[in-house]
């Protein structure tokens, strides 16, 4: 990241090659639109280039930082279009494999994705539903409460409990 912050183009290419699969996978899952996901991925890496000097390693690893940016950009895109695309029964992949990415990075990404899927899958159904609606459909807590016909306080409690559980399960 220090090389990226200094404007090193090769560092930018390395960051892109290493993380584009995860970024595109998350953007696709949230947006359910190939072109929009690619646009968001471009925005994410552009923002990472511009904000590299602000990256703080103590707050999380580079992949996590990029995925937080991806989620924010994807949700911004959904909200700006005021539309929630219908999948029409199509199933989208959770991740994309970056062409030419080094095998150890792919193995690590696959292992991390598996751990997250397992941790989310182990949540109680009500917590898992609330987390999926918030993080993968981009709904606000109020929208989740309306969709599930549950009190807002209940939804907030479920999301908080789920996040605390996930944090504990995913600590290394």
Tens digits of residue pLDDT in 115-144: 888 888 899 999 999 988 888 777 889 989
pLDDT in tens, 12-51: 888 888 889 889 988 988 888 899 999 999 999 988 888 8
Contacts of 138 (CB under 8 A, 6+ apart): 30, 74, 75, 78, 79, 84
Domain boundary assignment for the chain? 1-84, 102-172
pLDDT at 98 over 60: no
Mean pLDDT to the nearest integer, 76-97: 59
CA 43 to chain centre: 14
When mean pLDDT is compared across 63-67, 118-122, 135-139, 166-170, the lowest value belongs to: 135-139
pLDDT at 108: 61
Q: Give burial (CB, 10 Å; 0-12/13-18/19+) of 48.
A: buried
CATH architecture of 102-172: Orthogonal Bundle (1.10)
pLDDT at 136: 77
The third-level CATH classification (topology) of the domain covering 1-84 is Rna Polymerase Sigma Factor; Chain: A (1.10.1740)
Dist CA 116 CA 127 (whole Å): 15
């Amino acid at each position: 990241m220090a090389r990226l912050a200094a404007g090193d183009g090769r560092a930018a290419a390395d960051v892109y090659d290493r993380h584009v699969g995860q970024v595109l996978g998350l953007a696709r899952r949230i947006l359910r639109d190939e072109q929009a996901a690619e646009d968001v991925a471009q925005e994410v890496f552009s923002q990472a280039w511009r904000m590299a000097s602000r990256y703080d390693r103590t707050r999380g690893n580079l992949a996590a930082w990029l995925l937080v940016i991806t989620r924010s950009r994807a949700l911004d895109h959904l909200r700006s279009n005021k539309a929630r695309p219908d999948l029409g029964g199509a199933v989208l992949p959770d991740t994309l494999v970056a062409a030419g990415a080094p095998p150890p990075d792919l193995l690590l990404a696959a292992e991390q994705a598996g751990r997250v899927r397992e941790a989310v899958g182990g949540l109680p159904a009500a917590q898992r539903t609330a987390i999926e609606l918030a993080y993968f459909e981009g709904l606000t807590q109020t929208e989740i409460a309306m969709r599930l016909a549950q009190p807002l306080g209940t939804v907030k409690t479920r999301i908080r409990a789920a996040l605390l559980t996930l944090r504990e399960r995913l600590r290394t």
